Structure 1
Amino acid sequence: MSIELRLSRASRIYRPSEPLEGKIIVKSPSSISHYGIRLTLNGSVNLQVRGGSAGVIESFYGVLKPIPILKKSIEVRPSGKIGPGTAEIPFSMILRQPGEDNLERFYETFHGANISIQYLVSVDIMRGYLHKTISTTVEFIVESDAADLFERPVSPEMVIFYITQDTQRHPLLAELKSGGFRVTGKMSTQFSLSDPITGELTVEASALPICSIDIHLLRVESVLLGEKIVTETSLIQTTQIADGDVCHNLTLPIYVILPRLLTCPTILPGPFSIEFKACIVISFQSELSKLHSKSDPTSPRLWRWKLCHLNWFGQDRLIRTETTVTKMKMCI
């Protein structure tokens, strides 16, 4: 005997005001009796502290108590029998009724290193004391309601940046210090979560040939543990925008698509917070770099510049940045 949960949408994306619909598909070679078929919805923020900036005491606690978001259960069918073959049992369940009080706000689905916001739908076929309950679980994705998306209009904004050998705080190759280097550009600072990061970059001068120009997307997860906030920064993805030595004074486009499950609207500090950064990383060709071709891209190197450029803020699927040129800093 097998059981399958098949949601009505292949994308598995739903909004809180929409019904979660689908079918429970039961395959059995013979007729079976049951004591009810129950459908359960669970949503929670799962927190844990591990590695990185966590100390010995913080790591000892490990997984923290989840923050509940959603807890609902309905009986799809009362006690009865399921005939042999394949049986399809439809179901429909509203995530949030109008005017209903939630345990917590409906955060959007997010899979991080220390923080995970997850929504699950489970079905249980109860068969009494002499038989094991048959169950299966499927994750579905929650996004903000359409009304929330357009509550505030998104206006295009750009931040202008420039980097030279004088703006860097970590040690550099002697050739870069003496010969000089200058890169200018701009990047979008306010956009919807479904839009890409856009902008442009121009290499005006460089004493050494360039090996690669990349955009690092980072997540900054903070968890409140007692009176201490444990913060961990981790790499989500790397997007290369230039390979090899680029022509000087040539405008290079910046276009980075955000991975849906690994990003979410910024959540401001509370029991936890989730923020993001985009870093421009410029690597140069040198004899020293050839000896460390597989080095960690997040670590500072003599032949690499790393500029923390974007710091996202916002809510309801809007991502805003407030970083200016004077706030640019070295990312380690």
Structure 2
Amino acid sequence: MKFIYIDYGKKFINEIKKREPDQETIIVFSDYFLKNSYMKNREKNILVSEPEYFTLEEFQKKIFVTEKMILTEAKRPLTLFRVLTKDLKEKLKMENYYDIIDFADLFFKYYKELYSAVEEKPEGLETWQKEYIKRFEILKKVYDKYLLENDFIPSDWIENIENYRDDYIKKYKKIIFADIPCFTPLMRETLKRLENLCEIEIILQIPKEDYNEKLLKLEKVSLVKNKEDINIKIYENSDEISEIFNMIYLGKSKNHKRKDIFSPIPEKNSYHKIFPRYFVSQKLKTLDDTKLYKFMKIQNELLLSLEPKKDMVSLLKN
């Protein structure tokens, strides 16, 4: 397995191009944004076969496959309720179908995460969490028997090491993973198997010391060193005449080497046509697109979903 680290100041897409991927290469991107950016900026040649392009999610569907009948998200709670015997309903405190909807959602998510962790059970759980998992395990034994008898599998349980297949991979010589800072235990195990078939390269835009190559995950985030100072000036114009004078001033100014102009409403600004090389692209990523935002959003949702401890509830009642 080969690791390639790119400086923050360099363009990630250009670094992928330097690898000269061909038709015997698979490129796996972290998300659709990076994949689409690369495909839009690549040099197309109809006479030359291209590599295969996937997001990580798309790639996993190629290597984790099943011949079983897949249960969709809508059907899963119904099948789960169907296996409940009278004793199980009493034990799990479920009287009707509506009682199982929220429970089923947690049930399927829990085992999906457990399969991604390659059966590494979570530690340091609260009492209420242990009670939930105990109920999960009681139901799982019955549900597994039902799935086996009917040759069913829930849609989000397919990504399991038992369903790993390398048939699709055998025709390729190299797989490049682009901008994927963390791999699940399931994917770490999968990469070990893929290494026996082809060359693996992981390209990351981070300092080498920030990454754990053994566990395949980001461990820290270092500050950018020796960053060039950037001088930002804000101009507000009340009319077109004052805007013209500001543009002339910026064009003649020699105080700094590079002059970039950002206009929040480009459709109302006609001067970007006169000075096109000074205007920066309006296609900017928002905070919502960043991995940090997505990570913090998940943490927030987890905190909001926490149930109060039973002893705390009893104290409040008293």
Q: Same fold (TM over 0.5)?
A: no
Say which one has the larger Rg.
2
Q: TM-score w.r.t. structure 2 length?
A: 0.20
Q: TM-score w.r.t. structure 1 length?
A: 0.19
